[in-house]
Structure formats: structure tokens, C-alpha cells
Amino acid sequence: MRIGPKRSVLDPDNTGFIAVENFTSLVEHHELQLDPSKLDMLFALVQSNEDGQVCYQELIELMSSKRSSSFRRAIANGRRTLQREILLDETGLGVYKRFVRYVAYEILPCETDRRWYFHQNSLCPPPVFMAIITIIQIVVFMCYGIMLNKWVLQTYQPDFMKSSLVYHPRHRLQVWRFFSYMFMHVGLEQLGFNALLQLMIGVPLEMVHGILRISLLYMAGVVAGSLTVSITDMRAPVVGGSGGVYALCSAHLANVVMNWAGMRCPYKLLRMILALVCMSSEVGRAVWLRFSPPLPSSGPQPSFMAHLAGAVVGISMGLLILRSYEESLQKQCSWWVILFSFITFLLFAIFWNIFAYELLGVQLPPAP
């Protein structure tokens, strides 16, 4: 759409603002060729303004697929209405668009946000981060399964724990292990649980919030998991991507609870109960394997503290990320507080790993 030639009509005094009457008249005379979604957004912007004016620059930004600051404030304060039916009532959609609509209702709590995401969505960039992580985890698991001829409780195989990907307290100076352990899994059950949640929850989250935010959240859960184990369960190794998975899941569940009235995903109460039961069962299984292993082993079994650390990251950092759809995190004071807290934890954990083991005289298990 070309707005420039209409500047003299919309803003004859060159004040930088457009009177609501002028804008409404222009729309009613069909001089703006807009898709229904963008027209709804413009009406919402007009109706949210208490002074009877619309900033000309904000109008141009909105037409350039950027939501203006006043429109964001209108969304936050609830001072906007949509002129048309809800997104769920749209018919004649293709398979992909129906999936995008499902994702919008699964992730976003506001109808305006859902419509905005639905009409602005594109496959560029595609949600590849969670898919790539899951594929690598499956490939690594299959390689070790074939090599060891063991598909369950792989940690009971000494050669499995010798992998340079596993985090082990004896090798904590090999920094990459604090991340690479996410590619290793105890057995088929843990891999299946993590892969399923990564694809069912991680991919929709990445489609809505983008690869940068979701990869940051996932990796923050992963590194927080291994560092927490190094502080609270100092003799235990770590395997599995549960830290990152629990960061995603806890952030999504917390977002649903915080926006319960606005969420329109079907059977949300039942699904939340099932998710909590599954996550609790997985943690319980990890605790059982850690303290009461069913088979004799040469050393401590992998810790469960990574699950809990990931959940804490999701509820703190993740909830803020998910609540800030289409808004800059850098402009929010709470983001800097959480980021400072996380960096402080990282620095403390680094010094702990350098000095605490020797100062406390921890008897570490032999290296596998």
C-alpha cells in the first residue's frame, strides 16, 4: 500500500498526527486496499487512542508489518476490539494455514496476537532448531545402541559413560561437556519422552517466538542443569536433554496458567494435568535411578537435578520470553534483572567448579 501521496489528505496541517475522523472516512470510502486482518489492526489502533488522533509514523510502521508502541500498549491495557469474527471461525484454509492457526491458539493468549501472528506468519526462517536438536539426539542414541547392543539403561554400559559428550565431575574442566551431555540419554524411555515434548511443545514455541528466543531458553536450561548438578550433586554425572526440555515445558505451562482466561487451546485443564503427571513421573524415575539403581553399576548414576534446574529457568526466564511476544526484551527492566541473576549464577557456578571440589575434599568417583 502507498501511504505517501495521502499525507496531505490525512494530515493537512503537517502535524504528524491523523484525526480519527479523517482516517475513518478514508477507510469507509475504500481508498485503502487492505487485507481484513490489517484493517482490523488499524481499527484497533484508532479505537485505542484517547485523544482522537493517530500518529502518522505509527500508521506507516503498522502498514510495514510493525506493531507500533501505542498499539502494543493498547493490547496490554485491553483497550481494543476486533471488528470481525474470531480467527477460529475462518474457513477454506489449507493444511498449513490450519496448522498455523492451531499453533496460534496453542501458544498465544490474546485474539489480537493470534490474528497478527496468523497473517504475518511465514516459513522464513523455518523452525529448525528443535528439529535439528531432536534429530541429533536420536542419531547419537541409535549409534550407541548399535555399538553397545543396549537400548535401555545405557548408562550401565561402561563404554557409554566413557563418551566425551557425557558430563562427568572428573572431566568438568572440559567445558563442552556442560552442553554436549544433552545429546546422550539414559535409555529409550528418556529419549522418547524428551523428543516427544521437544516436537510437540518446542516446535510450536519456536514457530511463534523465533529461533533466537527458544534456542536461548533451551540452552539456558541445559547449562543451568549441568551447573546445578555440579553444585548440588557433586559426584554425579549428567546425561539427557531434560534441562532444556523442562525449561520449555515449564515456561509454556506457566504462560498458560498466567493467561488462563485468554487461552483457547482445547481441553487445556486435562492437558495441563497430563503434562504435570508425565513430568513428575519422569523426575520420580530419575530420582529412583539415581538412588536405587536396579542393576549394580561402577559409579553414581546420572543426577535428576537438571530437571529441576530447567524448570526454574523456564518459570523465570522462559515465562518472560513467552509473555513478550512481538516486544523487545531489552526494553524491559524485568528481563535485565533475570539476565543479571542468571549471569550471577553462572559466575558462582564457575568459581564453585574451580575451587569448591578441592576445598571441600569431595571424593569423586573414578573416571569411566
Cα distance between residue 80 and residue 43, in whole Å? 8
Q: Is cis: bond before 302, omega within 30 of 0?
A: no
Active-site amino acid positions:
242, 307
Of 79, 76, 13, the residue nearest 46 (C-alpha)? 79
Of 237, 218, 184, 196, residue with least CA distance to 309: 218
Nearest CA to 268 out of 73, 109, 78 is that of 109
Q: With beta carbons less than 8 A apart as the criterion, state whether 293 and 301 touch.
A: yes
Positive or negative CA dihedral for 353, 155, 251, 112? positive
* Residue from 228, 225, 157 nearest 187 by CA: 157
Alpha helices in 108-241 (DSSP H): 111-120, 129-148, 158-161, 177-180, 188-197, 203-209, 211-232
| Closest listed residue to residue 2, CA positions, set 43, 31, 40, 41 | 31
Q: What is the gyration radius of the CA atoms in the chain, in angstroms?
A: 25
> What is the number of other CB atoms lying within 10 angstroms of the CB of residue 348?
13
At 306, phi and psi to the nearest 5?
A: -65, -35
